[in-house]
Structure 1
Amino acid sequence: MGLNRRTALGMLVATPLLGAGEAFARPQPAPSGERLAQAARDQVGVTKAYDPSYRAIPYPNGDVLRSTGVCADVLIRAARDAWRADLQQLIHEDMTRNFDAYPSRRAWGLKGPDSNIDHRRVLNLETYLERQNALLARAPAKAAGDRFDDPIPGDILTWRVWGQRPHIGVVSQGPERVRVVHNIGWGAKEEPLWMLKFHTAVGHYRWRA
């Protein structure tokens, strides 16, 4: 059925006119770091447990159940969700070519790469990020765990829990009132950076895959 004259005029009036060279506004994608931060935040309430057990997982894009994991899995999952960047594959390929650049031999006595676990170890993540020129700053020895200069969303921070156990998290808010998504033992949580002040700050990274 054709439009009557009154209906056609009403539709014309309701349609905004575009000037020369104008186009309909389209939503702009979030900056790369913001996407990583949001992908980390999306894990809160999904990953509810911490399990450091060794698991055989597929390769590439292998993962344990998202309901559990370790601190490294927060970054691994966020990078896949935000950027389709698979740290399992990236680290495995780099270790295959440059095994002695990583701490696996001296720290764990390994003789070659293991795609099941290498990417889930903070020491290997630190090495890979530094090899990608993503290291912004290394904290002074025994620096308090909240001593990082102006972290912004998507930055990656590492610590030594109680000065010993390696730990990693993704900045979800900053540089004011900095918040971090991490899994220190009770699943993925978003917490203020100051809550980590009793641990030892180690590295501040800005990696954009």
Structure 2
Amino acid sequence: MSTISRRTTLGVILAAPAFGATAATRDGRDLAIAAREQIGVTKAYDASYRAIAYPLGDVLRTTGVCADVLVRAARDAWQIDLQQRVHEDMARNFDAYPSRRTWGLKRPDSNIDHRRVLNLETYLQRQGALLSRTTRRAAGDSFDEPRPGDILTWRVWGERPHLGIVARGPDSARVVHNIGVGTKEEPLWMFKLHAAVAHYRWRG
């Protein structure tokens, strides 16, 4: 191998970690941008069960639940269909998910499984995306260094699961979510009365 070839190869190897970090940051920002683009489009909240197409099924974008913010953002930013991915993983590993013990289900349901925060938490953890999980009732704004595109979950109003996507951070962090009146962006500190649960950094 020539000296030039050796130097070129070494340069590529040394540059790889930095390139990977840049790509991860870009992907996270893409997810955050896609979440923000739902503001003003999704103006209502509706948790009703709906029969939808599979794959790439959705209810009307004018409504939805908090999980839909992530599902739609992943499709728009990365062309990743969480409906299909969650359904296929549940079909192979049903007992790894809370559907049987929480809802008494006996098989996956592609109409609703990906729209439930507990299932998304399980899927993200199985993908190696979990950064931290708390077993104590930590304040909802206590996540460590949340960055654009990170996914945060809480238990609000008691034990109700909730999910949001970080739009800006880590300083003065802001979150895009749908907690009842459509998709909106709010400062993370507004979650201080709710229980923080988990922090994910998923890049598809």
- TM band (smaller chain): 0.7 to 0.9
1:190 aligns with 2:185: yes
How many Å separate the matches in 1 of 2:185 and 2:119? 24
Q: Which runs of no fewer than 5 residues in structure 1 stay unpaired?
A: 1-27
Q: What CA deviation, in whole Å up to 9, does each residue of 1:157-200 have, x standing for no partner?
A: 00000231000000000000000000000000000001111110
Deviation at 1:139, TM superposition (A): 2.4
Matching residue within 61, 68, 76 for 2:63: 68
Deviation at 1:140, TM superposition (A): 4.2
Deviation at 1:137, TM superposition (A): 0.3
How many Å separate the matches in 2 of 1:160 and 1:145? 9
Where does residue 47 of structure 1 map in the other structure?
42
Matching residue within 113, 138, 145 for 2:108: 113
4+ runs of 1 displaced by more than 3 Å? none
Matches within 5 A, 1:52-201: 52-201=47-196
How many Å separate the matches in 2 of 1:206 and 1:111? 30
Contact 1:139–1:147 (CA under 8 A) maintained in structure 2? no
In structure 2, the residue corresponding to 1:31 is in which secondary structure? helix
Q: Select the structure that is richer in helix.
A: 2
Q: What CA deviation, in whole Å up to 9, does each residue of 1:53-106 have, x standing for no partner?
A: 000000000000000000000000000000000000000000000000000000
With normalisation by structure 2, the TM-score equals 0.87
Identify which range, 28-37 or 177-186, moves more after superposition. Answer: 28-37
Where does residue 8 of structure 2 map in the other structure?
none
In structure 2, the residue corresponding to 1:203 is in which secondary structure? strand
Q: Could you say what the CA RMSD is over the residues aligned between the two structures, in angstroms?
A: 1.2
Where does residue 13 of structure 2 map in the other structure?
none
Q: Percent identity?
A: 74
How many Å separate the matches in 2 of 1:76 and 1:107? 21
With normalisation by structure 1, the TM-score equals 0.85
Contact 1:139–1:148 (CA under 8 A) maintained in structure 2? no
